[in-house]
């Protein structure tokens, strides 16, 4: 039996159309070239897609996704094109896969200009150079937002959450998305932590003056998370103290009101005057209007009261005017006087009118 000739070895193709991708039969631990069976070229790593304005948050999301798939080495320069021809095919397959994932996460009108780069590392650097340089206004805006953010009306937890979101966006925008693996990386991280501690403490109000002083006096400066926990504990302590003070003040006020209420007994009240003329409380007999008359400008509240007032005033006026009794003897004297005047030729009607009107000045004691 003749064995058919083996197929000629194909030269590695640089095209991006290598689907479907066959998974690695046996995935070795920490093998950067390993491809999982769920990995395919149509995968979108992050949404929303890169549109030029959201590069900071977009790049952050891409690096997180690639890190989860153990493919960060293909964009940070750790794995470049190998010189060994045996590894070249595996490297080419992996870098093309990462390129497809990245370009799938870019808006169509932008990604067309990035389809002809050779590797995922070159693609990532070109995207960074193209969009990172235009982020200066956004960096300025973020730093301004951080410096002006205050705790006013917020809890410490809410304030720290907002501040942390701004820090992360600023880090992704201004410091790049590729982790620094150089010797100065630790020093840079410490410097950034110190800045965050200062910015967080500056946003607190005077209630946290003690904890701010304590944190600033620590050497070395504690981590931002530790400072946050210290401030949270201070907030809880202030809340407990405030609640206790409110309870004490409420109890004191209640006691004062109770003492004031029960200290006012009948023995402390001034007796109200009583009028024995009208049998009413509130005025004395000397100030009784019914007895002494109403003021000239007094306006009664009802017609009934007005009628009562007028009747009372009339009765009081009549009672204050002296009345003269007209006896039978007086009548006899009057008739005699009238007859006398008639015999003299006088006008009896005038005499009657004059005498009925009462005594006149020339005869004051005529009635005897």
In this prediction, residues 187-196 reach a mean pLDDT of 92
Q: How confident is the model at residue 193 (pLDDT cuts 50, 70, 90)?
A: very high
Do 174 and 229 fall into the same domain?
A: yes
Residues near 238 by beta carbon (within 8 Å), at least 6 away in sequence: 207
In b/e form, how buried is each residue of 179-209, taking b as 16+ CB within 10 angstroms?
eeeeeeeeeeeeeebeebbebbbebbeeebe
Contact 200, 163 (CB under 8 A): yes
Q: Could you list the residue range(s) of the whole structural domain that residue 184 is in?
A: 136-242
CA 78 from chain centre, in angstroms, equals 50
Residue 338 scores a pLDDT above 90? no
| pLDDT at res. 290 | 77
In this prediction, residues 326-332 reach a mean pLDDT of 67
In this prediction, residues 317-336 reach a mean pLDDT of 61
Residue 52 per-residue DSSP state:
S
Do 182 and 150 fall into the same domain?
A: yes
In b/e form, how buried is each residue of 33-61, taking b as 16+ CB within 10 angstroms?
bbbeeebebeeebbeeebeeebbbbbbbb
Do 152 and 217 fall into the same domain?
A: yes
10 Å Cβ neighbour count for 264? Answer: 10
- pLDDT tens-place string over residues 78-103: 999 999 888 999 999 999 999 999 99
Do 98 and 141 fall into the same domain?
A: no
Do 107 and 184 fall into the same domain?
A: no
Query: Does residue 302 lie within any of the structural domains?
Result: no
């Amino acid at each position: 039996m003749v064995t058919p000739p083996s197929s000629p070895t194909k030269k590695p193709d640089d095209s991006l159309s290598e689907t479907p991708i066959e998974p690695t039969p046996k995935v070795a631990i920490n093998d950067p070239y390993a491809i999982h069976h769920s990995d395919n070229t149509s995968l979108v790593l992050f949404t929303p897609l890169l549109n030029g304005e959201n590069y900071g948050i977009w790049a952050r999301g891409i690096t997180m996704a690639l890190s989860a798939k153990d493919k960060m080495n293909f964009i940070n320069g750790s794995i470049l094109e190998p010189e060994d021809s045996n590894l070249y095919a595996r490297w080419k397959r992996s870098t093309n896969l990462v390129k497809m994932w990245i370009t799938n996460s870019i808006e169509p009108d932008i990604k067309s200009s990035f389809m002809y780069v050779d590797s995922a590392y070159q693609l990532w650097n070109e995207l960074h150079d193209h969009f990172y340089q235009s982020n200066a206004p956004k960096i300025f805006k973020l730093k301004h937002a951080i410096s002006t953010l205050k705790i006013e009306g917020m809890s410490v937890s809410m304030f720290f959450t907002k501040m942390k979101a701004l820090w992360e966006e600023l880090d992704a925008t201004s410091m790049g998305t590729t982790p620094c693996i150089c010797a100065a990386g630790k020093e840079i991280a410490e410097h950034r932590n110190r800045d965050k501690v200062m910015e967080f403490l500056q946003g607190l109000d005077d209630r946290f003056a003690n904890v701010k002083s304590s944190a600033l006096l620590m050497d070395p400066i504690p981590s931002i998370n530790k400072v946050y926990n210290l401030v949270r504990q201070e907030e809880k302590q202030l809340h407990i103290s405030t609640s206790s003070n409110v309870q004490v003040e409420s109890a004191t006020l209640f006691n004062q009101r109770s003492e004031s209420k029960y200290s006012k007994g009948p023995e402390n009240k001034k007796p109200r005057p009583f009028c024995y003329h009208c049998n009413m409380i509130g005025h004395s007999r000397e100030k009784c209007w019914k007895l002494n008359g109403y003021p000239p400008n007094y306006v009664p509240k009802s017609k009934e009261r007005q009628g009562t007032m007028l009747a009372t005033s009339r009765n009081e006026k009549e009672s204050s005017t002296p009345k003269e009794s007209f006896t039978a003897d007086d009548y006899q004297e009057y008739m005699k006087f009238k007859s006398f005047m008639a015999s003299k030729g006088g006008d009896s009607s005038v005499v009657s009118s004059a005498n009925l009107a009462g005594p006149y000045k020339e005869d004051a004691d005529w009635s005897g």
